[in-house]
Structure 1
Amino acid sequence: MYLREFFHQNSEKLKHAGIVDHKLETRILISNYMNWTQSKYISSLNLSLKSKHIYDINKLIKRRINHEPLQYITGIVEFYKRTFLVNKNVLIPRNETEILIEETIKFINKNKINNPKILDLCTGSGIIAISIAKEIPDSSITATDISQKALDIAKINAKKHNVKINFIKSDCLESINEEYNIVISNPPYIKTNNLKFLEKEVQMEPKIALDGGHDGVTIIRKIIEHLPKICIFNKYAIFIEIDPEIKKKCVEISQKAFPDSLVYIVKDLKKVDRILIIKNNQFSIF
């Protein structure tokens, strides 16, 4: 079978399965399996595929028809100008999380924080810690996660991008005994009762990385209430990704834990409240 015909058949299969970007995803699955660039794919449309290739790619297509996330099938995700490895043990990075990184980097540069000590909580695949390490080379970063399997992926990604990060298996702050200038986190923040309403693809991601408890702030509360113990006195800033539905609770928890600090929210590119920031008055906002 020629590639052109094979592509059309499988694109239609994904379309009938409700995959919106069915043409793009079909091309990605084929190209990823064949290890082709986009130009190589286009130049190969009249190529006759081997039966083994057809068999193997059909298995990948079937996984996508069953709504397994594309990133888990290919094993890679593009995030913040870089490629990272992912699997079923880690959350798939969203575009919104790039705002979390951008705000952190902007804050560090604006306030001219030299050799910042940074703590990344709930690191997952390590994309936040690694992205910041690449952009702020003089930073000292510790990244934690409750899942050893997630940390294993994070370590592979750190090695791939040639950055040194101290990875620690920890339930939030339980194993942390140092102080930090910057704390950043993309914790679980979806209400437990809302998990069943998520897209089928999202429901295949690790529940432990999604479930924020009955009120959505169980993990966030646990983090914020213990942060005063590890934030460097008068020289700290905290960046946490949140769901707009829990914004009010997050602000209340933050103001109670840090009564003398400024607490504010930054919107994402869709103008949705997304990043909770807590900072002491020694630092500038803009």
Structure 2
Amino acid sequence: MPLHRLPTLQRFETLAPLRRATGAWRAAGERIVLVPTMGALHEGHLALIAHARRLGDRVVASIFVNPTQFGPNEDFARYPRDTETDLRLLAEAGADAAWTPEVATMYPPGFSTSVRVSGLTEGLCGAFRPGHFEGVATVVVKLLNQVRPHAALFGEKDYQQLQVIRRAARDLDLDVAIEGMPTRRETDGLALSSRNRYLSPAERAIAPRLYAVLARIADAAGRGEAAAPLLDRGRAELEAAGFGPVQYLEIRDAESLAPVERVERPARVLAAAYLGRTRLIDNLPIG
């Protein structure tokens, strides 16, 4: 694989030319890596692009704000969108192609199929966002079928989402490697997220407390302390700092996402909490 290739970004808005391009790359024996995004790109996304360039010969990034993963009272309408800036950032990061379909392209009239992953979707974010993971699984399976990559990269900040996508790919025998990358953070620990721009200056000053609480819980649980008292103290600390509601703060098995009382194998501590009107999620590995 060339080490210093600086590709010219191609933008595809309809499926036929995208498939011609990716088909030609596959025919030439080139390895394709997909980085799905909803745009509003930040350094976390660009780190995924950089890693994708190391993994493959061709990097495709999708930009699609997927309406089916937003609930009726969620932020679909106000979700940040700046496609021109995103395309410039992708070009500078060395992506080969951007797949930017319209909603009608992804969900044409009469569309009536969905992908539902049971078990993994029934707690954590799934308990508070009905239908969210069905929308995620459906759109990701479509993206994988459209681009036909050899691998697809996702950030671990959305850890439950990553596990759902891995299970869907495995269960449906999709010929693609699903890989996760550690969460990118600000210097004060706040996980990078497109929604961070919603935070007021006062909220932004409080937001890193979420990471700090998770880090203390992960450290203590990794040393063998029981989960319940750690989580109770962590929830109280978040609420005292100004978070609310705290939707969940839990320790789960890293693969199955089953609840864990005492860590004896790889696990994650995961949280979702509102700070003002902004919903923040984060997680850290244990063990």
Which structure has more relative contact order (CA 8 Å, sep 6+)? It is 2
Q: TM-score, normalised by structure 2?
A: 0.32
Larger radius of gyration between Structure 1 and Structure 2: 1
Q: TM-score, normalised by structure 1?
A: 0.33
